[in-house]
């Protein structure tokens, strides 16, 4: 399939006859979507191929070069560890705890972030008061405060939830505020020409045009939130993927350590991809 | 004759710049009036003041006996850029003026659908703006202004972003739509032939300060077809208007280059 599509693409470059070129031009509207599709599937294969090659290289290195199991685990060993952890039910225990911590923190931060973003966009006073805090805390590696949160809230889930809230809140707030503030003046003027009230302008233009920005902030929050959960768990927890990782590291169980990391990476990829799909449904006008 | 729109002593000052000076104008019901002039003559400012989007520095705009204080549903504004809301369908964009007035019933929906048909968008009601060509988007822009059934239609260079052929088509389309309802229209453009083709009267503006130089009555028979642009009479009108503003346009071009 790859071969045939490549041959198709090569045609316009080779042909030189004028009549052929005219025929080609006439065909083009039909041919273009097929070419685009072929190009897309080729790109898709390139991604898969790259990952497969990387895994193979990793496998080879860990089997023949770094044979000491204390330093590296092979992909096959990691896969086996994931299966084993899943069978004992241990994986679900860790995964569900981390998932609950992430979901709670993410939800709280999203709601708070959108509300604070609105307040800042609507009131200059609010913006003046909150801006230094937002800027300062966004730049601070709040994750370093995790031990303090554990001291305050104990090693249960709430200390992790708080870390997630701190990490997710600021991108959401900043994007919400920026989205509401950058509403197109032209669109506002259009509504104004019909005699719209400030309230109507807000609900019919400012809010819908801020949605893509808010979603972008929420998307940024996914990665930050996941890191927050795991790092907070590293500092002290009874269960969770971070706890699995740190416990495996302490016992030099490299396959289990990597199993935790791989599951975490998979969660990040799935959540981000799901979010991309949601964006396509909610704000299709920002695509294509 | 009672006039639809009465403008007296209208002036606008931006800092030191006299954008408009003592404009006097009386527009009859159903009249199609164009405003032409070199860039910087204040023609768009003039239209925006009539729309209520910009306050006047002095003078008065009276529509149907009431002084204009701000924007309102008795005026439909067609913008230079289409300003469609990208998340709304063609239909939802067209009906937004009604929505703002707080009245969207079956009658308003029916009227909006009929207008979309009138501007040639039947079957495109559920499309989104990104799926439309520039000409089609301007048709929605026009339908949106007409959907509030305004007393006067204010059009700010609505075809300037379209290519030459599409623009000619849109001019004839506008004529066809106008013939149906005979709304009072104020049409700002920098294309002299467009102004002559569409209008009963062409107002020629001069710059520094922006002022009304001459009001040229266009006595061409209606309905007009595009072929009229090649008649000697049409060309005479265009020539006359061009000679009125030629020096001003040259000056404005030189200033823009500097």
Nearest C-alpha neighbor of B132 from the set B145, B116, B110: B116
Mean pLDDT on A85-106: 93
Nearest chain A residue to B52 by CA: give it: A193
Show residues of chain A in contact with B129, CB under 8 Å: 285
Residue-level pLDDT at A26? 39
B77, B86, B101: residue with CB nearest A285: B86
Q: What is the pLDDT of residues B76-108, one digit of tens each?
A: 999 999 999 999 999 999 999 999 988 789 999
Classify residue B126 by its DSSP letter: T
Please, which pLDDT band fits residue A32 given cuts at 50, 70 and 90?
low
Examine the pLDDT at A16 and tell me if it is beyond 70.
no
Nearest chain A residue to B127 by CA: give it: A285
Q: What is the pLDDT of residues A199-256, one digit of tens each?
A: 999 999 999 999 999 999 999 999 999 999 999 998 888 889 999 999 999 998 889 9
Show residues of chain A in contact with B75, CB under 8 Å: 193
pTM of the predicted protein model: 0.76
CA distance B71 to chain A (A): 5
Please, which pLDDT band fits residue A135 given cuts at 50, 70 and 90?
confident
Q: Is A285 on the interface with B (CB under 8 A)?
A: yes
Query: In the A/B pair of chains, how many CB contacts fall below 8 A?
Result: 53
Examine the pLDDT at A175 and tell me if it is beyond 50.
yes
Q: What is the pLDDT of residues A274-284, one digit of tens each?
A: 998 988 888 88
Show residues of chain A in contact with B143, CB under 8 Å: none
Q: Is B102 on the interface with A (CB under 8 A)?
A: no
Residue-level pLDDT at B207? 86
Q: What is the pLDDT of residues A37-75, one digit of tens each?
A: 777 788 888 888 998 999 999 999 888 888 777 788 888
Examine the pLDDT at A6 and tell me if it is beyond 50.
no
Residue-level pLDDT at A122? 86
Please, which pLDDT band fits residue A140 given cuts at 50, 70 and 90?
confident
Q: Is A64 on the interface with B (CB under 8 A)?
A: no
Show residues of chain B in contact with A204, CB under 8 Å: 85, 96, 99-100
Please, which pLDDT band fits residue A12 given cuts at 50, 70 and 90?
very low
Q: Is A20 on the interface with B (CB under 8 A)?
A: no
Residue-level pLDDT at A238? 86
Provide the sign of the torsion angle of the four alpha carbons B207, B210, B214, B215, taken in this order.
Answer: positive
Nearest chain B residue to A283 by CA: give it: B87
Show residues of chain B in contact with A196, CB under 8 Å: 100
Residue-level pLDDT at A35? 74
DSSP per position, chain A: -HHHHHHHHHHHHH---HHHHHHHHHHHHHHHHHHHHHHHHHHHHHHHHHHHHHHHHHHHIIIII---TTT---HHHHHHHHHHHHHHTHHHHHHHHHHHHHHHHHHHHHHHHHHHHHHHHH-HHHHHHHHHHHHHHHHS-GGGGHHHHHHHH-SSHHHHHHHHHHHHHHHHHHHHHHHHHT--HHHHHHHHHTT--HHHHIIIIIHHHHHHHHHHHHHHHHHHHHHHHHHHHHTS-SSSHHHHHHHHHHTT-HHHHHHHHHHHHHHHHHHHHHHHHHHHHH-GGG--
Residue-level pLDDT at A68? 79
Mutate which: A179, A188, A193, A208, vs B, most B CBs within 10 A: A193
B51, B81, B100: residue with CB nearest A186: B81
Q: Which of A136-150, A158-172, B32-46, B115-129 has the lowest mean pLDDT?
A: A136-150
Mean pLDDT on B132-147: 92
Whether B148 sits inside 8 A of A196 (CB atoms) is no
Show residues of chain A in contact with B157, CB under 8 Å: none
Show residues of chain B in contact with A283, CB under 8 Å: 87
Strand B58-63, strand B32-36: pairing: unpaired
Q: What is the pLDDT of residues B29-66, one digit of tens each?
A: 999 999 999 888 889 999 999 999 999 999 999 999 88
Nearest C-alpha neighbor of A233 from the set A148, A150, A142, A151: A150
Mean pLDDT on A122-149: 88
Mean pLDDT on A190-197: 92
Residue-level pLDDT at B12? 92
Q: What is the pLDDT of residues A110-128, one digit of tens each?
A: 999 999 999 999 888 999 9
Tell me the three state secondary structure of residue B104: coil
Is residue B211 exposed (0-12), middle (13-18) or buried (19+ Cβ within 10 Å)?
middle
CA distance A108 to chain B (A): 28
Whether B128 sits inside 8 A of A204 (CB atoms) is no
Q: Which of A14-23, A117-126, B5-14 has the lowest mean pLDDT?
A: A14-23
Q: Is B131 on the interface with A (CB under 8 A)?
A: no
Cβ(B240)–Cβ(B193) under 8 Å? no
CA distance B242 to chain A (A): 31
Residue-level pLDDT at A17? 36
Please, which pLDDT band fits residue A33 given cuts at 50, 70 and 90?
low
Nearest chain B residue to A196 by CA: give it: B100
Please, which pLDDT band fits residue B248 given cuts at 50, 70 and 90?
confident
Q: Is A185 on the interface with B (CB under 8 A)?
A: no
Complex-level ipTM: 0.87
Provide the sign of the torsion angle of the four alpha carbons A60, A65, A67, A71, taken in this order.
Answer: negative
Cβ(B202)–Cβ(B34) under 8 Å? yes
CA distance A195 to chain B (A): 5
Whether B101 sits inside 8 A of A195 (CB atoms) is yes
Q: What is the pLDDT of residues A242-270, one digit of tens each?
A: 999 999 999 988 899 999 999 999 999 99
Cβ(B162)–Cβ(B135) under 8 Å? yes
Residue-level pLDDT at A139? 82
Q: What is the pLDDT of residues B202-232, one digit of tens each?
A: 999 988 888 899 999 999 998 898 899 999 9
Query: What average pLDDT is seen over chain A?
Result: 84
Residue-level pLDDT at A45? 87
Residue-level pLDDT at A197? 92
Quote the CA–CA distance of A20 and A5 in Å, as a whole number. Answer: 20
Quote the CA–CA distance of B250 and A256 in Å, as a whole number. Answer: 79
Cβ(A237)–Cβ(A160) under 8 Å? yes
Nearest chain B residue to A201 by CA: give it: B100
Examine the pLDDT at A98 and tell me if it is beyond 90.
yes
């Amino acid at each position: 399939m790859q071969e045939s599509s490549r041959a198709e693409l090569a045609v316009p470059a080779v042909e030189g006859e004028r009549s052929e070129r005219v025929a080609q031009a006439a065909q083009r509207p039909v041919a273009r979507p097929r070419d685009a599709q072929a190009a897309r599937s080729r790109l898709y294969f390139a991604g898969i191929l790259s990952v497969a090659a990387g895994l193979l290289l990793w496998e080879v290195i860990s089997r023949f070069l770094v044979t000491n199991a204390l330093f590296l685990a092979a992909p096959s060993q990691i896969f086996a560890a994931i299966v084993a952890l899943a069978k004992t039910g241990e994986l679900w225990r860790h995964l569900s705890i981390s998932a609950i911590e992430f979901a709670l923190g993410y939800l709280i931060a999203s709601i708070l972030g959108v509300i604070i973003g609105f307040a800042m966009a609507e009131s200059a006073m609010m913006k003046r008061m909150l801006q230094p805090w937002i800027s300062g805390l966004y730049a601070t590696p709040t994750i370093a405060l995790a031990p303090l949160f554990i001291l305050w809230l104990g090693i249960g889930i709430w200390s992790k939830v708080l870390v997630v809230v701190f990490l997710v809140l600021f991108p959401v707030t900043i994007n919400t505020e920026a989205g509401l503030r950058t509403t197109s003046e032209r669109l506002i003027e259009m509504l104004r020409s019909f005699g719209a009230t400030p309230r109507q302008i807000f609900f019919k233009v400012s809010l819908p045009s801020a949605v893509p920005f808010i979603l972008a902030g929420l998307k940024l929050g996914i990665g930050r939130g996941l890191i927050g959960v795991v790092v907070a768990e590293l500092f002290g927890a009874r269960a969770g993927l971070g706890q699995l990782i740190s416990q495996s590291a302490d016992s030099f169980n490299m396959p289990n350590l990597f199993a935790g990391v791989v599951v975490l990476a998979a969660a990040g990829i799935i959540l981000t991809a799901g979010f991309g799909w949601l964006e396509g449904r909610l704000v299709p006008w920002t695509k294509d | 004759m009672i006039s639809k729109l009465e403008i007296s002593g209208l002036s606008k000052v931006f800092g030191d710049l006299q954008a408009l000076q003592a404009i006097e104008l009386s527009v009859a019901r159903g009249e199609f009036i164009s405003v032409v002039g070199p860039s910087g003559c204040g023609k768009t400012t003039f239209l925006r003041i009539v729309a209520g989007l910009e306050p006047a520095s002095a003078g008065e705009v009276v529509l149907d006996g009431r002084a204009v204080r701000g924007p309102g549903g008795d005026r439909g504004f067609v913008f230079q850029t289409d300003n469609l809301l990208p998340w709304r369908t063609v239909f939802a964009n067209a009906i937004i003026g009604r929505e703002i007035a707080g009245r969207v019933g079956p009658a308003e929906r029916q009227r909006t659908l009929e207008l979309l048909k009138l501007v040639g968008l039947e079957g495109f009601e559920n499309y989104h703006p990104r799926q439309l060509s520039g000409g089609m988007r301007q048709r929605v822009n026009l339908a949106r202004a007409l959907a509030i059934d305004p007393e006067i239609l204010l059009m700010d260079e609505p075809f300037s972003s379209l290519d030459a052929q599409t623009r000619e088509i849109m001019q004839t389309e506008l004529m066809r739509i106008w013939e149906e309802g005979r709304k009072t229209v104020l049409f700002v453009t920098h294309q002299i032939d467009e102004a002559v083709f569409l209008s009963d009267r062409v107002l020629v503006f001069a710059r520094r300060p922006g002022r009304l130089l001459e009001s040229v009555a266009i006595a061409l028979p209606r309905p007009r077809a595009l072929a009229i642009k090649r008649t000697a009479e049409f060309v005479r009108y265009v020539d006359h208007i061009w000679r009125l503003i030629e020096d001003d346009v040259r000056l404005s071009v030189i200033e823009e280059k500097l």
